[in-house]
Structure 1
Amino acid sequence: MFSSGFIFVLVLKMSSNTGVFRYDPAASGTPMYYFYLEDKVSCLRACYEENECAVVEYRENEEGYCSLYKEGDTLSVEGYTLSRGETNSSCTLIETLDFDVSFQEISGQQTFYKAKCNSTPDVSVLQPFDGEKYRFFILNSTKVPKNWVASKFRLLFSKKAEETCKSIPVFHKANHRRLFFGETYNTTGYYFYNAYAFANLCVSPAGECLGVQEIQEYVDEQGNFFYDAPGRMDMADSGLNQTFFISGKRHS
């Protein structure tokens, strides 16, 4: 565990953005949301990723409870205050994060196996959840807050790549609020979902439905991301200008 007397810094690689977290036994803030993460560093990352976050609280002995707060005086908590844009040579460096990664367009590859698929591969199941204001994408085996509302469907991603298709690994940041597609995100600050999408229709030689459901990334007016079939008119395209193929969608 980190000593309460330490100061921690997160430095963003390839960027002038920096931040210092300071321990405060009575930090004040207004709640944004909470969830459960495996360690304190991930919790600090999640706070840094949210532009409004100013205070973060982590309770390791409560299943990794991680709570984010924006500026305000609604609650007083024992946690860490974030000072964005600051550096301090006396800080203990946590890590350097590579948050300047940009999506790289992924060219398709012709699939050699055109037969209809007849089986579902071993999949990672991502369940979209809605909090009071924010949307999250969580593996279905992960504990979530009781007040989160599960969406009506789950996203199914193959756990394995396929040589005959253009396989695309899928990542997330610590805050679990968006999916990131492509090997370019295989760097510090991103987490692999153990999930693959595909650049085109993909059926394995054994007939597994690896990539048969086409999805597109959308964003709503609140900045939340959604993944659904192309053609939705009620939300804006996020700007990726690319669709992906996954194993399927399943009603919750």
Structure 2
Amino acid sequence: MILTCTFTKRSGNFMAAVKYEIMPESEEMCLKACYEESDCIYLQYFQDACTVYKSGSEEQNERGSVFEVDRVQSDSSCTRRIVVEATVDFKSIAPNTTNSIPCNGVPMSTTTINVFKGNQYRFYTTKEKILPDGSAPFRRFR
């Protein structure tokens, strides 16, 4: 296991580009997600949503908790730490050889996934229509 303390909580706007947004179990899981992405420089945890940022020139507004990651310097005086398990090496498996088949139409460059929240459940769909029975959209990301 590796003990790391490379996250500095900050306030105010910052310059970066959104890499992706996920719905982790906790702020700690958000920190781990950023740590595992080699190009993550900021992360933001707000209302159960975790946004991972990479280097970029877009101004981002602070919402919730924003952390800056420093992979070079570690602050031994930090009292809050997360534990990241050792890297697991996976065995490469050769793909089965199959004949290629043509795709129908041109694939989309991005796929939009809509997330709807109902009670304690989240529903993921590629459809843009709100789910029936009074479910309300919770978070939408690309």
Q: Tell me the residue number matched to 1:22.
A: 8
For this pair of structures, how many residues does the alignment match?
A: 100
Measure how far apart 1:104 and its partner are: 7.0
Which residue does 1:93 correspond to in 2? Answer: 80
Q: Which runs of 5+ in 1 are unaligned?
A: 1-10, 106-130, 134-140, 149-252
Kindly tell me: are residues 65 and 147 of structure 1, through their superposed partners in 2, closer, same or farther at Cα, counting changes over 3 Å?
closer
Moved runs in structure 1, 4+ residues, more than 2 A? 75-78, 99-105, 141-148
Partner in structure 2 of residue 72 of structure 1: 56
Q: Specify which structure has the higher proportion of strand.
A: 1
Aligned partner of 2:128 in structure 1 is none
Residue in 2 that maps onto 1:58: 45
Counterpart-to-counterpart distance in 2, 1:81 and 1:94: 14
Aligned to 1:12: 2
Supply the AA of the counterpart residue of 2:6: V
Distance 1:41 1:19 in 2: 12
Task: Kindly report the root-mean-square deviation, in angstroms, between the aligned alpha carbons of the 2 structures.
Answer: 3.0
Q: How does 1:99-118 map to 2 (within 5 A)?
A: 99-103=86-90
> Match for 1:70: what amino acid?
K
TM-score scaled to structure 2, two decimals? 0.57
Specify whether residues 147 and 57 from structure 1 end up closer, same or farther in structure 2 by C-alpha distance, changes over 3 A only.
closer
> For 2:140, what is the secondary structure of its paired residue?
coil
Tell me the amino acid that sits aligned with residue 96 of structure 1. V
AA at the equivalent of 2:57? D
TM-score (norm 1): 0.34
CA contact (8 A) 1:21 1:81 kept: yes
Superposition deviation, residue 45 in structure 1: 0.7
**Do 2:5 and 2:82's aligned partners in 1 also have CA atoms closer than 8 Å?**
no
Tell which has more relative contact order, 1 or 2 (C-alpha 8 A, sep 6+).
2
